Amino acid sequence: MGNKGKVYLAGAGPGDPGLITVKGLKCLAEADVIVYDHLIDQGLLSGTKEGAELIYVGKKAGAHTLSQEEINAILIIKAEQGKMVVRLKGGDPFILGRGGEEAEALAANNIPFEVVPGITAAVAAPAYAGIPLTYRRLSSSFAVATGHEESSAISKLASDTLVFLMGVANLTSIASKLIEGGLSPATPAALIQWGTTPRQKVAQGTLGNIAFIAEKENITPPAVLVVGKVVELRHKLSWFEAKPLFGKKVLVTREEGKIRKLQRLLKLEGAWPIEVPAIKIEATPDQYLRDIILRFPDFHWLILTSVNGVQALFNHLYRNDMDARKLSNLSICAIGSATAESLRQHGLVADLVPTQYTSQGILDSFRERGIDGQRVLLLRSQLANPDLPRGLLRLGAQVEEAAIYHVLPASTADEETQRLLAQEKIDMITFTSPSTVKGLMALVGGDVAILNEAVVACLGPVTADYANKVGLKVDVIAERHTMEGLVEALVKYGGESGLS
């Protein structure tokens, strides 16, 4: 048998994918096999290398995909095949998980392994709820215990702050045993559900009533119980739930692969982004683009209207052993700061970036420069609005258009998208272009009513105009036509409307 591989027992953190360690991310990016748990954020799996094998071994109450012995066997078998294996576990692998048992099984079979610690929910969930586990004068120690199994040892815990993981099912028993052990029924207590995520929900009370409050507020696993005086600090220190878009379910409709930036910006404001790619981008055939590029010397101006256009152009150039020198004779107009930045990444600085991203704003910029008699090549999608080339013709330019990429609906009517909108109570829907409106309409079978139940937000007036034409009620139009501007507009709308 060849060289053995290696297993990394890695903690994924408590729920917020941003809380995984740098080393944990590096292991995921290099892994041949990833064996992952139930509560792992799926976004962590999107950065794996091509061809990596993903094996789900999730466990939740009453539903175990595989036994612990079977999980151990997978780790051993894959490592013996010479593969780098990441065993991705929620929280920290050694804190109230089975990481120690997995390490023991690997050691017994002479499998090399490393432990990559993770942030445990025992610490992170209280922090995101505004509850410090230690605080001068209130708590100089804390203890972490499992609440999954009933134990007489619970009554003997003696730290200032007590944290229980997996204790929802036994909450009444835990509270009773702590009171029997000498804690007052008036001791502050909090139960934190889905801690560190936009789904976070906190039930706060005392040992005497926390079980009643949790049932009343329908707190279910996963949840962390915190007991101690530090819970009282929550009313002053709660920060995560104070974010302007906290808990709002926002449907993100950009094309697949372009959703991540908007998702990240929304998460920074506390939102819960739900990814529904409404369109897909297809490259124009190489021969068509090759013929256009050969004619670049015939033009004075090149207009690129989107990041997609820049990427499509340079993908073709690089694929055919060409580079930015092919554009050396052209003045370049980039529509939007994101398009201009995309050009910069390829070593080009746009000669013109209109301040207004509407057709009229672009035409005003060219009117000031003077474009009469000049030849203009407009590279964009096949769905683009005809107002811009018509306006350029009126200014005296000679205009030629070419579809450098094609925008297509992601699919026809989609049951999962309809279910999301009907059952998940989507709060907001974002549209970044008319094509995303058209694509989502196709996914819901043209059901305008179901979309109008949410706040509809559009990136700029062109998108808003199209949305209005198809019957959508547009609530938000971003003044700045960027992803940052769209999120700013949603935050502003939420504050002004009192959306909660």
CA 430 to chain centre: 14
Judging by DSSP bridges, how do beta strands 113-116 and 63-64 pair with one another? unpaired
List phi, psi (to 5°) of 375. Answer: -95, 130
Nearest to 43 by CA among 241, 261, 282: 261
Residues composing the chain: 500
Catalytic residue among 32, 37, 41, 475: 37
- Six token digits for residue 486: 């769209």
Q: Burial letters for 458-486: b for 16+ Cβ neighbours within 10 Å, e otherwise?
A: bbbbbbbebbeeeebebbbbbebbbbebb
* Single-letter code of the amino acid located at 183: L
Catalytic residue among 4, 59, 261, 280: 59
Nearest to 122 by CA among 52, 50, 227, 47: 227
Nearest to 288 by CA among 384, 382, 374: 382
Catalytic residue among 78, 92, 166, 475: 166
Do 130 and 242 meet the contact criterion of CB atoms below 8 Å apart?
no
Asked if 37 is an active-site residue, the reply is yes
Q: How far apart are CA 453 and CA 64, in angstroms?
A: 38
Do 277 and 255 meet the contact criterion of CB atoms below 8 Å apart?
yes
Q: Which residues pair with 53 in a beta bridge?
A: 33
Total H helices, total E strands in the chain: 18, 22
Q: What is the DSSP letter of 277?
A: -
First-to-final CA distance of the chain: 61
Q: Nearest 5°: CA angle at 219, between 214 and 223?
A: 105
Q: How far apart are CA 101 and CA 283, in angstroms?
A: 50
DSSP string of 56-122?
E--EETTEESS-HHHHHHHHHHHHHTT-EEEEEESB-TTSSSSHHHHHHHHHHTT--EEEE----HH
Four-point Cα dihedral 489, 490, 494, 500, nearest 10: 180
Q: What is the DSSP letter of 17?
A: G
For residue 229, how many C-alpha atoms fall within 13 Å in the half-sphere facing its CB?
10
- Six token digits for residue 97: 């998980």
- Catalytic positions are 37, 59, 166
